[in-house]
Structure formats: C-alpha cells, structure tokens
Amino acid sequence: MAQKIVVIFSGGMDSFTVLNKTIQKGYEVYALSFNYGQRHVKELECAKEICAKLNVAHKIVDISAINQIIGGSALTDNIEVPEGHYESESMKQTIVPNRNMILLSMAVGYAVSIEAEKVYYGAHSGDHAIYPDCRPEFVDKMNAVCQIANYEAVEIVTPYLYKSKIAILTDGLAMGLDYSDTWTCYNGREKACGKCGACQERLEAFELNGTVDPLVYE
C-alpha cells in the first residue's frame, strides 16, 4: 500500500508544486488547507478546485477564531498590504504570529489520526529573510518535537527549504504543471495586483524561467 502523507496546501504555487511532487512520488496524499482568518479566501477556493481536479482527499479547516488572540498582520487585519520586493523590510507586516507552528501542529495531529508518517509544507529560501517559521532552524526544531509529541513519530518534510521560488517553478515546469489555477497575491480581488511582494516574487520566477505567468494581473 502507498504511504500516507499530509500536505499543507494553501492553493499557492509553492504548495501546489509540493502537492504534485508528492503525488508523482506515489504517496497517498491528504491535502489540508486552513482558513485562519486571512483577508480573502480566494486561495482556498483555488485549493479546493485543484484538489478536485487531481482527485486528492482535501479538508479545509476553519480556525479563524484564532484572530481573537492573534493579530497585527496585513494578511489578517485591516492593515494595508505592503508593496515592493518580497524580501523588503516592509514585508514583515505580513507575518502572522506563530502561524506555521499552529498549522504544522494541527497537520501533525491529522497525520497521527489517519496514520500518516509525514507532513509536507512549502517553505523555501526566499521566505528565510522575513519569516522565522520558514527558516531551517525552525524546521529542524519543529521536526524534533514532532518525533516525540505523540506515540507515533511524524516527520516534517520541506523539499524546497534551500531552494528559491525560481527553482520551485523550474521544478514544476519540468513536471509539466499548469499554474493557472493557483493564487499567490496577498489581495483577494478578481485579478492579481502584481504589486505586493508575493506577486512580484511570482512574476520574477516566471520571468527568470523564460515563460509567462498564466494569471491575469491588474
């Protein structure tokens, strides 16, 4: 039987690549998405559509109540989303306190309940400058904790931890992936803004891969 794994799937291009990578490896994949009170649910809608197309088991979990105690981020509060490059200092406004520790903890609990041995998420090197919970030292410590937090050890796997978004897209294009159903923009309007850090990093990845982003931009 195929080994069961859980993939934290936001609906964005990084986790989309991870999801497809695990499918191609032959795992029995369970995708897990979270509504943590983000400004929009467009990426969750994309995640749902993608999993339906791929015939992947998918759950969207509503944990938006955590906004009662966690705030101060441009992704969850009424704070203007910063524009500019992804690694600029202003992007710290998009940090959601303790987000990945919370999401990974829940994903590990899900993994234990379905007897899955691994949890995948799409942290990459471009996140390191701004997001502490995407850095190697965080992943190492979280992985160590998840070996002992339950009777069943669960491994945290980050296949792109030392790779850039450019390299992630290179890998995805080599797999023949279509990114038209993914969503990256921090704004949830009908079209991607093209100005926020997430959009700029995505556009840069497509440009440096010598191809055109299939998303429509404002």
Does residue 62 form part of some domain?
A: yes
Does residue 217 form part of some domain?
A: no
Does residue 189 form part of some domain?
A: no
d(CA 45, CA 51) in angstroms, rounded, equals 10
Is the pLDDT score of 84 beyond 70? no
User: What is the count of structural domains for the chain?
Assistant: 1
Rounded to the nearest 5°, which phi and psi values hold at 157? -120, 130
At 112-140, the pLDDT tens digits run: 999 999 999 999 887 656 778 889 999 99
Rounded to 5°, the CA angle 43-66-60 comes to 35
Does residue 143 form part of some domain?
A: yes
Task: Average the pLDDT over 44-57 and give the result.
Answer: 97
CATH classification at residue 54: 3.40.50.620
Does residue 42 form part of some domain?
A: yes
Does residue 85 form part of some domain?
A: no
Which structural domain, as residue segments, surrounds residue 124?
4-75+97-183
Task: Specify the higher pLDDT residue, 30 or 91.
Answer: 30
Q: At 108, list the tokens.
A: 């590990």
Does residue 175 form part of some domain?
A: yes
Does residue 154 form part of some domain?
A: yes
Q: Judging by beta carbons within 10 Å of its beta carbon (0-12, 13-18, 19+), is residue 158 exposed, middle or buried? A: buried
Q: Which residue has the tokens 């926020």?
A: 196
